[in-house]
Amino acid sequence: MEEINLLENSDLQTKEFSDDFQNEGVCKFLFKPDHYALFCKLKELVDNESSDLDYIDISTQVIDLNPQHYTAWYFRRKIIRVNYFENETENKMEFLREELRFVRGICERTPKCYQSWWHMRIIREWLGFDIEELKFINKQLKSDAKNMYVWNHRTWFIRKYNSIDSDLFLKELDFVSKIITEDCRNNSAWCYRNFIFTNLKKMNRLKESDFLEEVDYIVNWLIFAPHNDSIWNYIISFFSKIMVNENFNKETLIKNLSFEQVPKNFKDAIEEIYVNHYDSCYQVVYIKACMAYEEGDKDFVLKAFQLLQGVDPIRRFYWKWRAKNLKI
Report the candidate in 212, 113, 149 with the shortest Cα–Cα distance to residue 105. Answer: 113
- Alpha-carbon span 245 to 197, nearest angstrom: 16
The pLDDT of residue 248 is above 70: no
Q: Which residue has the higher pLDDT, 248 or 188?
A: 188
- Other Cβ atoms closer than 10 A to 136: 18
Could you tell me the pTM of the whole model?
A: 0.87
Residue 33: pLDDT band by 50, 70, 90 thresholds?
confident
For 218-223, what is the mean pLDDT? 97
| pLDDT (0 to 100) of residue 131 | 95
CA triple 75-78-82, angle to 5 deg: 145
Q: Per-residue pLDDT averaged across 44-57, rounded?
A: 93
Buried b (16+ CB within 10 A) or exposed e, 269-283: bbeebbeebeeebbb
Confidence of residue 34 (pLDDT cuts 50, 70, 90): confident
> Per-residue confidence at 23, pLDDT binned at 50, 70, 90?
low
pLDDT given at position 250: 67
CA distance 75 to 55: 9
Instruction: List the one residue out of 96, 30, 95, 89 whose CA is nearest residue 65.
Output: 30
Average confidence (pLDDT) over 133-158 = 97
